[in-house]
Amino acid sequence: MRILVVGGGCGGTILANNLARRLANEIRGRKVRLTMLSASDKHMYQPGLLYVAFGQMMPDELYRDQQSLLEPSIEFHVDPVEAFHLDQNRVTTKSGRTHEYDVLVIATGSRIVPEEVPGLVEGSETFYSEAAAVKMFKRLREFEGGKVAIVVGVPHKCPIAPVEVTFSLHDYFKTRGIRDKVHIKYHYPIGRIHTIENVAKWAKPEFDRIGVEYETLFNVREVDVENQVVKSEEGTETEYDLLISIPPHRGMPVIERDQMGDGGWIPTDRYKLTMEGHDNVYVLGDTTNLPVSKTGSAAHFEAEVVAENISSIIKIGTPVRDYDGKVYCFIEAGHDRATYAMFNYENPPDLKAPNKSMHWFKMSYNKMYWTSVRGLL
């Protein structure tokens, strides 16, 4: 049995480590071979980018060597897939190698595409890459006051990020003693300030309290960089001195190139996590087209289900679990407080009041992630 994992991010790594432990005897007995292909020899803790953008973490704290995170029984290659041949159960890679499989797991993740909005690259700061987060922090340090606008592309990774960056901006300028010189305006694509109703109900009075203006039904159409105006699909405009963007995302180019899913999102069974039409292909994390959050948390819970099912299929011939849509997201609420949203397909999140304990738990998790991604937590 050849199991091939494509993608060495959060979901792929948790899955591979989980499988390596569940199938340790089979791998040792050469009945199972577990291989991972990744585009990088480094693993990034992506939620840390928000902290880099506010000078609270250094970029080198975000990385570990991918090989060091993997069980020794996993065969690891830095060699991204260039083409999927699903009808022949094989992939070809950048180096020209072919890998055949019996079971394939696709966990290639997503990428930002700010270039799809005219002016967004030149006109805005963001924190969705290391370079961008460092640049954003330098820009914030230089900022002495004026109009700050926050805009949100669709779809985007980490749905909590828009409110978190808003609270962080308020805190940052307050700490610098210039909050009274900064006007913050938040823009959101749908008709309330967050897609999760209970988050919107909680965040709205918080925004009112800290003096953040908001405009809803604002889908960013273009940025007039010269005149510093951001325009919406809905026909409204906002002037800015500093524009912060959550960029729109797409799946990886290879997914679109091989016509495996519009936008790079692979059609996936929401319970089995198999690719539609391919029972031996599983899809994890951002790569799916599922109506669940694009977060490491979703990838984590999905990975546990897929690992358990691949293992049980090998051991007893049948899967044993369905994915229930579980997601758990920390929410940094500013002023060293945090809360969380936990939900699944059936149960909406029931938000608790933010407190300092949750903030320090999140700060601890920023370190504990490396235990989590090894599949130990």
Residues in contact with another protein by CB under 8 A are 154-155, 159, 189-191, 195-197, 217, 219, 233-235, 248, 262-263, 270, 291-294, 325, 327, 341, 343, 345-346, 348-349
Smaller CB distance to another protein: residue 80 or 248?
Answer: 248
Smaller CB distance to another protein: residue 142 or 346?
Answer: 346
Per the CB < 8 A criterion, the answer to whether 341 and 297 are in contact is: no
Outline where the chain has alpha helix (H).
10-22, 24-28, 49-52, 66-69, 120-123, 130-142, 161-175, 197-210, 253-257, 296-316, 356-372
Smaller CB distance to another protein: residue 80 or 189?
Answer: 189
- In whole angstroms, the minimum distance from the beta carbon of 300 to another protein comes to 15
Q: Both ends of the chain: CA-CA distance in Å?
A: 27
- In whole angstroms, the minimum distance from the beta carbon of 14 to another protein comes to 21
Tokens of 33: 């071979």
Task: Compute the Cα dihedral for 73, 78, 84, 88 and give only its sign.
Answer: negative
Smaller CB distance to another protein: residue 345 or 370?
Answer: 345
- In whole angstroms, the minimum distance from the beta carbon of 48 to another protein comes to 21
Per the CB < 8 A criterion, the answer to whether 113 and 250 are in contact is: yes
Smaller CB distance to another protein: residue 144 or 197?
Answer: 197
Tokens of 165: 């960056």
Angle CA(136)–CA(138)–CA(141) in degrees, nearest 5?
110
Measured CA to CA, the distance from residue 242 to residue 187 in angstroms comes to 14
- In whole angstroms, the minimum distance from the beta carbon of 371 to another protein comes to 26
- In whole angstroms, the minimum distance from the beta carbon of 196 to another protein comes to 5
SS3 24: helix
- In whole angstroms, the minimum distance from the beta carbon of 212 to another protein comes to 21
- Distances 333 to 38, 179, 204 between C-alpha atoms, Å: 34, 17, 12
Residue 57: what are its φ and ψ, rounded to 5°? -140, 150
- In whole angstroms, the minimum distance from the beta carbon of 113 to another protein comes to 11
Helix axes 161-175, 197-210, angle to 10 degrees: 20
- In whole angstroms, the minimum distance from the beta carbon of 174 to another protein comes to 29
Smaller CB distance to another protein: residue 82 or 256?
Answer: 256
Smaller CB distance to another protein: residue 73 or 268?
Answer: 268
Per the CB < 8 A criterion, the answer to whether 31 and 132 are in contact is: no
Smaller CB distance to another protein: residue 173 or 202?
Answer: 202
